[in-house]
Amino acid sequence: MTTNYERYRAIAHPVPNEAAVWNMYGAGLDNIGREGHPESVAVPHPSPNQLLVRIDSVGLCFSDLKIIKQGNQHPKLYQRDLSKFPTRLGHEVSLTIIEVGENLKVRFAPGQRYAVQPDIYQQGKSMAYGYTVPGGLTQYHLIGSEVLESDDGTCLLPLDDNMGYAESALLEPWGCVMAAYTQRRRLQPKVGGIMWLIGQAGDDRVYEFSAGLERVGKFVLSDVPQSLRGLVDEAAARHHIPVIVRDGVSPADYAAIADEFTAGNGFDDIVALAPRSAEAVGALARHIARRGILNLVGQLPLDGLVNADVGRLHYDYIAFVGGRGPDIAASYGEARNRCELRAAGSMLLIGAGGPMGQMHLQRAIEHPNGPQLIIATDLNDGRLAHLRLRFGGLAEQHKRHLLVVNPTDPDQSLKQIVMAQTAERGVDDVVVCAPAAEIMAEGATLMNESGMLILFAGVPNGTLAPLNVSNVYLGNAQFTGTSGLTIRDQALVMESAVQKTLSPGRSVAAIGGMGVARDGIQALMEGRYPGKIVIFPQLPDVPLLSLEELQAHFPAVAAKLGPDYAWTSDAESALIEAAWRK
């Protein structure tokens, strides 16, 4: 006898005439749905260039709250009149194709399962799914060129048959976490770019530039030692590269030079030789282009901390690289500039209690070459208790030392804890999941001279924080940040899940059916659950439940949970078996 779950998985059921949908008509929770309930709309048939898809699962995200708060003032909604042209939340989505338009039958077939890559661009303009393009808080909807023909191709990721629905939806937030540990910075001189080499008057050091000069499109030289000037002139003559000299410059001149040679867009590469002044380095950094590089080469520390733009480190992928010299080219490349956690090292995770912080924590624990010591912080004692419950056993299983601490503990400061645990060196890696410059700056003080600071939470461009940039060239400090993801990041998460080196489903803290999607958003606003809330649109009558509450409502589902109330594919199949009716 065919089970409910088997029929659901095989789409062995008729498509209904109507479907429930949560449209959003303006700012505020009251503008989602009609009078607190989903609407019923006709299920359409696809045109020749469209797909009809069934939405299987939707993860609720804090980014959704920004849309609810801002309404049509959100930058991705382009001030559209939501009362006439509503959008729909839900960008963390797993779906199944139900019906294929005639022109797409070569590429797609009914029953195929996909996750959505929502960060869509068409002709350079953001058309994000769940924002500009109405998202997944519906039971069925059409997908066409807005998703299938982005600047990077289709934004649908084929799912492995072993992937569950909830964990497939969570490939999107997990992809953002995965992206934080993949190289987003450009780490070589830009081909055809504008490079500014700026030195110190009286510096007679003999520098080398063993590779990369031939890539440059234009050189600007300021107070460059004669030895390096000769190398530049030689490369310029050989490759027909223009060279402009502007000697005797000071920080007061930097903006004018950037305007003159880059039209205010910033230099692609700036090489600062023998830097001394933190103020001057901070001023130079303001004139790096998006994805630009500031290469610092010196043997002595700066005279203080640099007020660095932590917003641009996160959103614009600017890179601070460096070395002691004399070879300037040695600063570049992935061998010197890492983006992965140090194997068997030490890690400080600030803001570990939120859903995304928990993902960083879980990845660090489950990563085969992850850190040996993990210090996880949060200000909420309830969240800290949840971290101990949910991840203590996992850390023991992977032989990792996990410390869960409240940084406001009056008995021992976070700095005291970090230094005691690292023999006064500081940690190898600091991951900041809190969008506050002062917290980012504090985290940077707790890493060693070759540590890495990952700014996972974004703050607006122009937000400054004091950083010890001397360690970039005297040690090997890294300051990195990422925003968004690619479909490849989601694929990496799926590969890890299939290989059982990562369990995305552990992020689930609560579930609900279509009827309580709005309640789930309210719970997200209140921080009611410590992890992700996943909505199953095809299960309209399932109440909003934490995984701990499943025993009272769905004991057969609760029996299939993993250790520490972890969500599993077996629990999901039991839920569909119990709650799906067609």
What string of pLDDT tens digits covers the 582 residues of the chain? 789 999 999 998 899 999 999 999 999 999 999 999 999 999 999 999 999 999 999 999 988 998 999 999 998 898 899 999 999 999 999 999 999 999 999 999 999 999 999 999 898 888 899 999 999 999 999 999 999 999 889 999 999 999 999 999 999 999 999 999 999 999 999 999 999 999 998 899 999 999 999 999 999 999 999 999 999 999 999 999 999 999 999 999 999 999 999 999 999 999 999 999 999 999 999 999 999 999 999 999 999 999 999 999 999 999 999 999 999 999 999 999 999 999 999 999 999 999 999 999 999 999 999 999 999 999 999 999 999 999 999 999 999 999 999 999 888 999 999 999 999 999 999 999 999 999 999 999 999 999 999 999 989 999 999 999 999 999 999 999 998 889 999 999 999 999 999 999 999 999 999 999 999 999 999 999 999 999 999 999 999 999 999 999 999 999 999 998 999 999 999 999 999 987
> pTM of the prediction?
0.94
Radius of gyration for the alpha carbons in the chain, expressed in angstroms and rounded:
26
- Output the furthest CA–CA distance in the chain (Å, rounded): 87
Specify the 3-state DSSP secondary structure of 498. Answer: helix
Long-range contacts of the stretch 386-393 (C-beta < 8 A, 24+):
386/353, 386/530, 386/531, 387/352, 387/353, 387/358, 387/361, 389/564, 390/358, 390/506, 390/530, 390/531, 390/564, 390/565, 390/566, 391/358, 391/361, 391/362, 391/365, 391/564, 393/563, 393/564
DSSP string, 43-60: PPPP-TT-EEEEEEEEE-
Q: What Å distances lie between residue 558 and 126, 202, 546, CA to CA?
A: 41, 73, 11
What is the residue extent of each domain of the chain? 4-162+506-579, 194-331, 346-460
121 has which bridge partners?
A: 126
- In angstroms, rounded to a whole number, what is the distance separating the alpha carbons of residues 84 and 175? 33
In CATH, the number for domain 346-460 is: 3.40.50.720
* Token digits of residue 577: 């078996």
- In angstroms, rounded to a whole number, what is the distance separating the alpha carbons of residues 165 and 450? 41
CA 226 distance to own-chain centroid? 44
Domain 194-331, CATH among 3.40.50.720, 3.30.110.30, 3.30.43.10, 3.50.50.60: 3.40.50.720
- In angstroms, rounded to a whole number, what is the distance separating the alpha carbons of residues 282 and 304? 11
The reply to whether 4-162+506-579 and 346-460 are identical in fold is no
Print burial letters for 249-274: b (CB count within 10 Å at least 16), e (below 16).
Answer: beeeebeebbeebbeeebbbbbbbbb
DSSP string, 88-145: ----EEEEEEEEE-GGGTTT--TT-EEEE----EETTEE--BTTTB--SSBSEEEE-H
- Between β-strands 140-143 and 51-59, what pairing exists: parallel, antiparallel or unpaired? antiparallel
CA 172 distance to own-chain centroid? 9
Q: Could you tell me the end-to-end alpha-carbon distance of the chain, in angstroms, rounded to an integer?
A: 16
221 has which bridge partners?
A: 197, 245
CATH superfamily of 4-162+506-579: Medium-chain alcohol dehydrogenases, catalytic domain (3.90.180.10)
For 287, other C-beta atoms within 10 Å of its C-beta total: 21
